Amino acid sequence: MAIKLIIFLLFVIIFIKSSNAANYNVITYGAKPDGRTDSTKPFLKAWASACRSAKASTIYVPKGRYLIKAAEFRGPCRNRVTLQIDGTIVAPTNYWALGNSGYWILFIKIDRLSVIGGTFDGKGAGFWACRKSGKNCPAGASSITFNWANNILISGLTSINSQQTHLVINSCNNVNVRNVKVVAPDQSPNTDGIHVQASTGVTITGVTLKTGDDCISIGPGTRNLFMNNIKCGPGHGVSIGSLGKDFNEDGVQNITLLNAVFTGSDNGVRIKSWARPSNSFVRNVLFQNLIMNNVQNPIIVDQNYCPNNQGCPRQSSGVKISQVTYRNIKGTSKTPEAVTFDCSPTNPCRGIRLHDIKLTYMNRAATSSCKNIGGTTFGVVMPKSCL
């Protein structure tokens, strides 16, 4: 009797599940897991079906390699969509094929999307070589971009060798990035790991970023960004900025980075702004529990950015930096100067707090330098604070 009841309940559960979810396998739409056949159209057709489904839907990408050209996955969709990827998405080897749009895989104007698993291979090497050679090259593409997307989960994804930034989160709300891996060579140009801008409520946890530019870069208009359990290096560290390139620019506020390990990276935590007039700002930032392993600039604020010395009339940044706390930051610096605060002469940094810092250079005390800064220290601060 009990067994019959259990079997009956199982059927009920299966029935409810199948009636509340729709499944779309890209293979049934003609995708070929051979890494050679262009599967862009089948993927877009599967997307169109899932997106118009009244029920929550799942698009399934089985194991195998799928060649996808520049593709735009556009919302709004009628219900939640999950993209479950067991395979590898491969960009065309010929970098001209991605055109000049700046995108490879673009998710745009979507509410409630989960991207689970998957490896995205941007095949960037050819594009980087083109740039290096000084030849005529296309604009280059970010591998995965989310524009105007809300309530997004990105979990278990791996991105390798993007032409440019691996993962871009732009003009989004409530985005959860977890267990993501980024891999590109140390010297690959502009291959930032994750770039966030004009977005509120982005959470990045448990990510490993090995790349040629910033591990995480934080652009204008980023609010309530929470990062925890981050591994960075090689790469250029976690960077707020560059900010203040434009005069009218939305600032960055309420940024938290906890439990990060930087290994052999150019920077640890950096705040960078152009030495130009601007009404932008950075405020309420917490960097806590960080380990630096042989990092060139473990802690740096650089408000003097002005490549080629062009367009910086008074060499002074309008970006106002305030309420930045550095707490429990330990490890080794690759250069003698482990802490650098080069703040704006016209807009000095304010409310900078150093709390339990211990950074050494070749087993000796490192140094620190301060320009135009106000703040306080707590606990042990080594190198000796210049605040």
Ligand X SMILES: *[C@@H]1O[C@H](CO)[C@@H](O)[C@H](O)[C@H]1NC(C)=O
Interface with ligand X (CB under 6 A), residue total 4
For residue 245, the Cα-to-chain-centroid distance in whole angstroms is: 20
Token couple for 32: 């070929």
Q: How far is the CB of 312 from ligand X (least distance, A)?
A: 32
Residue 259 binds ligand X, judged by CB under 6 A: no
Kindly report the length of the chain.
387
Token couple for 156: 């278990």
Q: Which of 318, 298, 176 is nearest to 237 (CA)?
A: 298
Q: How far is the CB of 279 from ligand X (least distance, A)?
A: 21
Q: How far is the CB of 224 from ligand X (least distance, A)?
A: 4
Q: How far is the CB of 170 from ligand X (least distance, A)?
A: 19
Q: Are 179 and 142 in contact (CB under 8 A)?
A: no
The DSSP secondary-structure symbol of 385 reads P
Q: How far is the CB of 253 from ligand X (least distance, A)?
A: 8
Q: In the complex with ligand X, which residue's Cβ is closer, 253 or 333?
A: 253
Alpha carbons within 13 angstroms on the beta-carbon side of residue 272 total: 19
Q: In the complex with ligand X, which residue's Cβ is closer, 25 or 256?
A: 256
Q: Which of 150, 145, 177, 148 is nearest to 163 (CA)?
A: 145
Q: Are 159 and 120 in contact (CB under 8 A)?
A: yes
Binding mask 116-155 for ligand X (x = CB under 6 A): ----------------------------------------
Binding mask 13-52 for ligand X (x = CB under 6 A): ----------------------------------------
Q: In the complex with ligand X, which residue's Cβ is closer, 326 or 341?
A: 326
Q: How far is the CB of 328 from ligand X (least distance, A)?
A: 18
Percentages of the chain per state (helix, strand, coil), in multiples of 5: 15, 55, 35
Within positions 46 to 65, which residues make up the interface with ligand X, using CB under 6 A?
none
Interface pick for ligand X out of 84, 228, 229, 254 (rule CB under 6 A): 254
Q: How far is the CB of 22 from ligand X (least distance, A)?
A: 34
Residue nearest to ligand X (CB): 226
- CA 344 vs CA 223, 224, 272, 275: distances in Å: 23, 25, 11, 8
Within positions 211 to 250, which residues make up the interface with ligand X, using CB under 6 A?
224, 226
Give the sign of the dihedral formed by CA 337, CA 343, CA 345, CA 348. Answer: negative
Interface pick for ligand X out of 171, 179, 190, 256 (rule CB under 6 A): 256
Q: In the complex with ligand X, which residue's Cβ is closer, 293 or 323?
A: 323
- CA 37 vs CA 89, 120, 125, 385: distances in Å: 12, 16, 21, 60
Q: In the complex with ligand X, which residue's Cβ is closer, 224 or 293?
A: 224
- CA 183 vs CA 55, 98, 272, 292: distances in Å: 36, 20, 24, 20
Q: In the complex with ligand X, which residue's Cβ is closer, 254 or 263?
A: 254
Q: In the complex with ligand X, which residue's Cβ is closer, 176 or 256?
A: 256
Query: Strands 173-178, 158-160: parallel, antiparallel or unpaired by DSSP?
Result: unpaired
**Active centre residues (catalytic):** 236
Provide CB contacts within 8 A for 18, sequence distance 6+: none
Interaction site with ligand X (CB under 6 A): 224, 226, 254, 256
